[in-house]
């Protein structure tokens, strides 16, 4: 616990008659015995007394010890419900299945201290003791699994239980299957989406089919949701091609809208990375229209979709992007100075100089020719000291070859002492030093001094 008793902080003992103990968030006592924690949790559930049959379901595996020693399994929980001078009464301890269908266990999981107790037990127990505790815990939470999966305190315990390595396969199957019918709610919930992602990683085909049915017609809205987009991304990364075809099928009719959205663009990127098929081909085809490419390249979110296409797209798709955006000097100058388009251009130069350089040789020559130009002026010189364009210059220096190297050295000489006076210029000189070596830079320095 990160909080302590305000009374204990000032050296006063709290009376067991008090119905509530005030917590000071800035106070952390030196020690907090398990007996006090158990008493605090018991009072949270039953502030004044413990009626028969509603005692805290503290089975021998429910209450851990928060000391340095291993967990001690107490036989019962002492509850002080009388005056201080009276002997404490002992509450009846029953299993979760014997106390109103597990309601006390559900209440404990929705409490901060109770969820910490259960989480501690799941972490420390092992063997047959852990199996018995998990069976009782699952039996208690199954009726309220969806409500607990969205609870601030209970959801981490549910997620921990689902991902427990030693959990029996039958128990995990029952937990995952119990989520069906509430998948849309979990997808859009802040904490439920995490539980659902855990279930997708460990669940079987039944959950995949149920997710497809429950999200049918709502894929676009879920992809635009703050939490729902993460569930769809996890689906694309984990599930098979037939299982995720419904996502591409629904987004293909809203390709541009999804690409320009802050959350949907992430789902499109995962689809481009992992998905193939006819639906994906139609989706990409709509994105590759020239007017759509011009909107995407300068958009704060759409440019990330284009970068994914440059990395994972086909050679034909790269050619269309280059021809539409970067083959002309005028467009190249505008995009190199733009915050978002410069990232796309940088990714394009990297893709054209990578593994597919031979396949895309003509496209690479066209972009480098437009960048380096001819004569005294060029796009290279105009963007060299720009806050975004200097990164394009550094990329061109690191990837140049053949006659391009001599042309770049000439352009660097023509820039003169401006390279040494600005931070962007010094970055360019550093990139040139790595590419051309010290001798070439020495000649360049001599030329700069002569011009100065």
The DSSP secondary-structure symbol of 424 reads H
Q: Are residues 22 and 123 in the same domain?
A: no
Chosen domain end from 114, 144, 165: 165
pLDDT at 451: 61
Q: In whole angstroms, what is the distance from residue 8 CA to residue 4 CA?
A: 8
Residue 114 · residue 148 · CB < 8 Å: no
Name the burial class of residue 377, with classes exposed (0-12), middle (13-18) and buried (19+) by CB atoms within 10 angstroms of its CB. exposed
Q: Are residues 49 and 157 in the same domain?
A: yes
What's the average model confidence in pLDDT over 429-449? 75
Higher pLDDT, 344 or 70: 344
The model's pLDDT over 53-68, given as tens digits with 9 standing for 90+, comes to: 434 444 434 444 433 3
Q: Are residues 103 and 77 in the same domain?
A: yes
The answer to whether residue 146 scores a pLDDT higher than 80 is yes
pLDDT at 420: 82
pLDDT at 450: 65
Q: How many residues does the chain have?
A: 452
In degrees, rounded to 5, the angle at the alpha carbon of residue 230 between the alpha carbons of residues 229 and 232 is: 65
Chosen domain end from 127, 149, 165: 165
Q: Are residues 81 and 1 in the same domain?
A: no
Provide the 10 A C-beta neighbour count for residue 375: 5
Question: Which of the four pLDDT bands, split at 50, 70 and 90, describes residue 409?
Answer: confident
Q: Tell whether 293 is covered by a domain.
A: no
What's the average model confidence in pLDDT over 339-354? 95
**What are phi and psi for residue 90, nearest 5 degrees?**
-110, 120
- Nearest by Cα to 306 from 345, 364, 363: 345
The DSSP secondary-structure symbol of 64 reads -
pLDDT at 418: 83
pLDDT at 189: 96
pLDDT at 447: 65
pLDDT at 307: 97
pLDDT at 105: 84
The model's pLDDT over 347-393, given as tens digits with 9 standing for 90+, comes to: 999 999 888 888 999 999 999 999 999 877 899 999 999 999 999 99
Q: Tell whether 254 is covered by a domain.
A: no
3-state secondary structure of 90: strand
Residue 25's domain comprises 1-32
- Cα 184 to Cα 188, 192, 222, 223, 347: the distances in Å are 7, 10, 9, 12, 36
Q: In whole angstroms, what is the distance from residue 372 CA to residue 393 CA?
A: 10
Q: In whole angstroms, what is the distance from residue 446 CA to residue 452 CA?
A: 10
Q: Are residues 102 and 135 in the same domain?
A: yes
pLDDT at 3: 44
Output 440-445 pairs: Cβ under 8 A, ≥24 positions apart.
440/409, 444/409, 444/412, 444/413
3-state secondary structure of 227: coil
Strand 4-5 relative to strand 89-90, pairing = unpaired
Q: In whole angstroms, what is the distance from residue 301 CA to residue 343 CA?
A: 12
Q: Are residues 13 and 107 in the same domain?
A: no
Q: Tell whether 184 is covered by a domain.
A: no
Q: How many DSSP H helices and E strands does the chain contain?
A: 28, 4
Q: Are residues 102 and 3 in the same domain?
A: no
Q: Tell whether 267 is covered by a domain.
A: no
Q: Are residues 84 and 24 in the same domain?
A: no
Q: Are residues 44 and 61 in the same domain?
A: yes
pLDDT at 35: 52
The model's pLDDT over 295-322, given as tens digits with 9 standing for 90+, comes to: 999 999 999 999 999 999 999 999 999 9
Please report where in the chains the tokens 């969806």 appear, as a residue: 146
Q: Tell whether 214 is covered by a domain.
A: no
**What percent of the chain shows pLDDT beyond 70?**
74
Q: Tell whether 140 is covered by a domain.
A: yes
Question: If residue 89 lies in a helix (H) or strand (E), which one and from where to where?
Answer: strand 89-90
Q: Show the tokens assigned to 318.
A: 């790269």
Which residues are CB-neighbours of 374 under 8 A, at least 6 positions away?
none
Which residues are CB-neighbours of 291 under 8 A, at least 6 positions away?
none
Provide the 10 A C-beta neighbour count for residue 73: 16
Provide the 10 A C-beta neighbour count for residue 20: 9
**What percent of the chain shows pLDDT beyond 90?**
59
pLDDT at 445: 64
Question: Which of the four pLDDT bands, split at 50, 70 and 90, describes residue 435?
Answer: confident
Mean pLDDT over the full length of the chain: 80
- Total domains in the chain come to 2
The model's pLDDT over 227-264, given as tens digits with 9 standing for 90+, comes to: 999 999 999 999 988 889 999 999 999 999 999 999 99
Q: Are residues 96 and 126 in the same domain?
A: yes
The model's pLDDT over 196-220, given as tens digits with 9 standing for 90+, comes to: 999 999 888 889 889 999 999 999 9
What's the average model confidence in pLDDT over 142-150? 94
**What are phi and psi for residue 212, nearest 5 degrees?**
-60, -40
Q: Tell whether 148 is covered by a domain.
A: yes
Q: Are residues 64 and 110 in the same domain?
A: yes
Q: Are residues 93 and 138 in the same domain?
A: yes
Q: Tell whether 25 is covered by a domain.
A: yes
């Amino acid at each position: 616990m990160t909080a302590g008793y305000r009374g204990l902080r000032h050296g006063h003992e709290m009376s067991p008659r008090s119905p509530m103990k005030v917590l000071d968030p800035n106070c952390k006592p030196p020690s907090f015995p398990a007996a006090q924690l158990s008493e605090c949790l018991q009072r949270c559930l039953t502030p004044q007394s413990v009626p028969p049959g509603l005692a805290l379901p503290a089975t021998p595996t429910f209450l851990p010890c928060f000391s340095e020693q291993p967990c001690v399994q107490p036989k019962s929980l002492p509850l002080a419900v009388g005056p201080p001078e009276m002997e404490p009464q002992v509450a009846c301890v029953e299993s979760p299945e014997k106390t109103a269908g597990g309601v006390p266990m559900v209440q404990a999981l929705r409490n901060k201290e109770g969820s910490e107790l259960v989480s501690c037990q799941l972490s420390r127990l092992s063997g047959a003791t852990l199996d018995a505790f998990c069976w009782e815990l699952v039996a208690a939470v199954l009726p309220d699994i969806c409500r607990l999966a969205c609870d601030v305190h209970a959801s981490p315990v549910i997620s921990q239980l689902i991902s427990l390595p030693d959990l029996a396969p039958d128990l995990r199957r029952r937990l995952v299957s119990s989520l069906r019918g509430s998948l849309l709610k979990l997808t859009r919930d802040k904490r439920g989406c995490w539980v659902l992602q855990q279930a997708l990683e460990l669940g079987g085909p039944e959950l995949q089919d149920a997710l497809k049915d429950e999200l049918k017609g709502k894929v676009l809205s879920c992809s635009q949701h703050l939490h729902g987009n993460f569930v769809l991304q996890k689906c694309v990364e984990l599930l098979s091609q037939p299982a995720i075809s419904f996502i591409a099928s629904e987004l293909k009719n809203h390709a541009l809208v999804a690409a320009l959205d802050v959350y949907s663009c992430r789902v499109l990127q995962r689809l481009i990375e992992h998905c193939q098929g006819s639906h994906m081909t139609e989706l990409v085809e709509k994105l590759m229209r020239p007017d759509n490419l011009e909107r995407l390249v300068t958009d704060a979110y759409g440019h990330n979709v284009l970068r994914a296409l440059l990395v994972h797209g086909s050679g034909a798709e790269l050619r269309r992007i280059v021809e539409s955006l970067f083959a002309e000097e005028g467009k190249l100058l505008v995009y190199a100075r733009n915050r978002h388009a410069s990232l796309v251009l940088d990714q394009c130069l990297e893709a054209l100089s990578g593994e597919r350089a031979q396949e895309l040789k003509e496209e690479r020559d066209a972009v480098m020719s437009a960048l380096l130009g001819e004569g005294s002026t060029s796009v290279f010189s105009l963007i060299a000291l720009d806050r975004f364009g200097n990164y394009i210059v550094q990329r061109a220096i690191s990837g140049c070859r053949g006659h391009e190297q001599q042309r770049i050295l000439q352009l660097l000489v023509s820039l003169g002492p401006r390279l040494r006076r600005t931070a962007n210029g010094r970055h360019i000189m550093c990139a040139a030093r790595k590419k051309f070596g010290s001798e070439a830079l020495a000649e360049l320095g001599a030329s700069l001094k002569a011009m100065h």
